[in-house]
Structure 1
Amino acid sequence: MPATTPAQITLSFSRSAGLVAIAHGEQYLWAQTALTHTGFLRRDDGTYAVALDDVRLRHGLAASLVRSAHQHQAAVTTSHRPYIGDVADAIAAYLPGAWNTTVEVYSHPLWQEDLVPLLWDAGELTHAIQHERVPYAAVLKDGAGTELLLVERPGHQSDYLVGAFASEAFDDNFADPHSPISIAITAAPQQAARAINDRFLPAYHRALHARRVEAISSALERIDEEHATLEAMRDSGRYSDGVPLTAPAEQLAVFEDQFADRAWLAFVDVLTHAPSVLEQCSRSTALSTEDEAVLAELHEVLRSTQPARDEWNAQTAKSYARPPRKFFHERWGGLRARLGAQVMPAIATWVTEADAFARIARAATPGGQMALAAPAPWPAPSGPCPPLQPRQPLRAVDLRHHRHC
């Protein structure tokens, strides 16, 4: 990131707020002090502003700010761009639906680094956040889970960059292969909104759908593999490395608990992402009778898991972490195993229909009416999910053996 003056003040004009100032730099507190001494008032979003409706105040403001900034070793820069909050508001007004905007200030250079793991982007925006100084930005939210980040495009006089934050349901967003690509937009709000609506949002929704489908398929595959290992031990009376079980009944009961525990952990991904994917699939007009039956069955068994989901959500809501990592600790294995056993029939149905689900879901990738500019389709996976092996179907792991049934 380029070296800068330790304390800086960037000024921009806002039609509603007057003159807006943003203090930033490693010694941003010096800049904040200079602004306070000049009559600027701190606002809730971390910016400072002074109204310009008083002619006398406006006349002496510039000289007063320069003197105060000099005294506090802060450099003052007047931006040729309008206040970014006004830009975001103007763009949001042209986007379909109800969008709200907020301004974020990253006064210290290290603060913007917190954005990197939250961004879901494979384009210029991530590069700018990592390598350029971005002291402020605007966030646009549609109220349905879509959150966009708007920043001034480095090295350009008037353009902006817009990209997406990842959904809260995902971790490990950096370099995710599904990441949508941020786009550069003009300063003209109507044109910018059209670019976002026609180009970026369709690509974003396709990428989100693909990522959800992959998360579900991966979870079901993990469960299937775990079940295969357990079934092999039950049939052979041996560990996976061939060593005989010394007390098969007791040991298998423990292994079944462990399987239910791990199955629940994996199935949480299904519970999280399946409702949105199934809703998208239901919009498809090309479903066969068989596909409709599969979707109906998956919908039904998903509804049957609601009590377990409610209990899990109630427990994890008590954690301040996101995601609530403490509930992945060994001490919570009993809760997870009990919930896993409780929803095992639903898990069995989802694993059995994993291939059909993946095929239907990938065929239902969104695009359609929003994508007026017809961006290139998201590349399909290299192949279908591996088929289930022809073995005994996954059942409730003989829940009669389960201590938590």
Structure 2
Amino acid sequence: MAGALPGQWDVSIEHYPDGTIPAQLLDWVWEAAPVLSTLTKYRLPGAAILRDGGGTELLLAERPWDGRYLIGTLLPSPDHLNVTGAGPRTVVATTAREAAVDVRSLLLPSFEQLVHLARIREVQEDLDWVHGAEPGTVDAVELEAALDRFLTHAPYLLAATRRADAKSLAASETAVLVRFGILLARAPAGAGAQAVPAPAGTDDALSLWLEAGEDLLDAVRAAAVGPAGEPARPAVIAAIPPKPPAAVSAARTR
């Protein structure tokens, strides 16, 4: 299936000799409704984790009672982004080909959109915090951390405005993007505030962020394409699972 997805994916096969998927792995599953998370009730010999090298990780497993493929996303690393709320809908498919189609057309776009919104929310929260604080009360370490988060998210926000399906922007909005583009050209994505070299030093980055950060978010929101319509076939197919085996049920009650 990985070969049918966009980009290059590394596949790691997980084996569970005791037939139980680790709870700590399921804690990282990010899905709209409990589909993969219910697998703790059933024997499962293994699963696979797919990684694209850019922060997207998928969990692939076979549903024990009907052999359908379940593919869901894992939470982004909290070191990179803090997400809240429900995740994308887990894909349920009867064949690997069908699974790849649904992951490519439904799961990945939904994941990317939710991550995009989480980036906007995190930058907005930091700006609200700084602008709402009393003069002289902002902790320097926390301010540096907020700027670092912004410099991590900003390249992705700018990239979203350059998508082929992005909406056209007004000249003033484009000018804001150009200003931040010049700044970020000197600060690699994820490098953080400490890596911004002269002449675009930390003070310049901080000044531009505080001065025009709201304008940047407005431009990013204006360029965003609305959510696509509901697919003809939902990604999650309703199914009534059988009662878990007695041995598994007993183990869960101890």
TM tier relative to shorter chain = 0.7 to 0.9
AA at the equivalent of 2:88? P
Distance in structure 1 (CA, Å) of the matches to 2:47 and 2:5: 18
Cα offset for 1:205? 1.3
| Residues 263/181 of structure 1: CA separation in 2 closer, same or farther (3 Å cut) | same
The one of 102, 106, 109 equivalent to 1:199 is: 106
Are 1:136 and 2:46 counterparts? yes
Compute the displacement of 1:97 (Å).
2.9
Gaps of 5+ in 1: 1-90, 232-254, 314-341, 377-405
The corresponding residue for 1:323 is none
Q: Give the greater-gyration-radius structure (CA).
A: 1
* Deviation at residue 368 of structure 1 after TM alignment: 9.1
In structure 1, how many angstroms separate the alpha carbons of the residues matched to 2:192 and 2:169? 31
Asked if 1:269 corresponds to 2:149, the answer is yes
In structure 2, the CA distance between the partners of 1:159 and 1:360, relative to structure 1 (3 Å rule), is same
Corresponding residue for 2:85? 177
Instruction: Report the equivalent of 2:123.
Output: 216
Q: Residues 296 and 131 (structure 1 numbering): CA distance in 2 closer, same or farther, change over 3 Å?
A: farther
Contact 2:126 2:146 in 1 (8 A): yes
Residue pair 1:118, 1:166 contacting (<8 A) in 2 also = yes
Within 2, Cα distance between the matches of 1:204 and 1:129?
22
Normalising by structure 2, we get a TM-score of 0.73
Whether the aligned pair in 1 keeps the contact of 2:20 and 2:42 (CA below 8 Å) is no
Measure how far apart 1:351 and its partner are: 2.5
- Determine helix, strand or coil for the equivalent of 1:229: coil
Q: Distance in 1 between matches of 2:19 and 2:168?
A: 51
Partner residue in 2 for 1:158? 67
Distance 1:218 1:282 in 2: 24
Q: Where in structure 2 are there 5+ consecutive unaligned residues? A: 196-200, 235-254
Cα shift at 1:214: 1.1
Match of 1:292 among 159, 174, 195: 174
Tell me, in whole angstroms, the C-alpha distance in 2 between the residues paired with 1:372 and 1:136.
32
Judged with a 3 Å threshold, the aligned counterparts in structure 2 of structure 1 residues 261 and 143 are, in CA distance, closer, same or farther, namely closer
The 1:96/1:223 distance shift into structure 2, 3 A limit, reads same
Number of residue pairs the alignment of both structures matches: 225
For residue 117 of structure 1, report the CA deviation from its aligned partner: 3.7
Listed as ranges, the matches of 1:299-310 within 5 Å are 299-304=181-186, 309=191
User: Whole-Å Cα distance in 1 between the matches of residues 81 and 43 of structure 2?
Assistant: 25
The answer (yes or no) to whether the contact 1:206–1:365 under 8 Å persists in 2 is no
In structure 2, relative to structure 1, the CA distance for the partners of 1:170 and 1:304 (3 Å cut) is closer
Change in 2 beyond 3 A, CA 1:212/1:93: same
Going from structure 1 to structure 2, the CA distance change for 1:172 and 1:107 (only over 3 Å counts) comes to: farther
Distance 2:119 2:230 in 1: 24
Deviation, structure 1 residue 143: 3.3
The equivalent position to 2:96 in structure 1, one of 173, 182, 189, is 189
Which structure exhibits the higher relative contact order, with contacts defined as CA atoms closer than 8 Å and separated by 6 or more residues?
Answer: 2
The alpha-carbon deviation at position 366 of structure 1 amounts to 5.9
Once residues 224 and 43 of structure 2 are traced to their aligned partners in structure 1, the CA distance between those partners, rounded to angstroms, is 37
Comparing 93-102 with 200-209, greater Cα deviation is found at 93-102
What's the RMSD between the two structures over aligned residues?
3.3
Q: Could you list the per-position Cα deviations for residues 139-186 of structure 1 after superposition, in whole angstroms to 9, with x for gaps in the alignment?
A: 12233332111011243x12121111122244665xx21521212111
Q: Is the 8 A contact 2:11 2:49 kept in 1?
A: yes
- Cα gap change, 1:261/1:172 in structure 2, threshold over 3 Å: closer, same or farther? closer
SS in 1 for 2:89: coil
Q: Which residue identity lines up with residue 179 of structure 1 in the other structure?
A: G
Change (3 A) 1:273 1:150: same
| Bigger mean CA deviation after superposition, 113-122 or 273-282 | 113-122
Instruction: Output the TM-score relative to the length of structure 1.
Output: 0.48
Alpha carbons of 1:214 and 1:108: their partners in 2 closer, same or farther (altered >3 Å)? farther
Q: The residue matched to 1:124 in structure 2 has which SS? A: coil
Whether the aligned pair in 1 keeps the contact of 2:20 and 2:45 (CA below 8 Å) is no
Q: Partner amino acid for 2:142? A: R
Q: CA deviation at 1:367?
A: 7.5
Partner of 1:326 in structure 2? none
Q: Residue type matched to 1:288 in 2? A: A
Q: Which has the higher helix share?
A: 1
Aligned residues: percent identity?
27
Compare 200-209 and 119-128 and name the one that shifted more. Answer: 119-128
Match of 2:217 in 1: 358
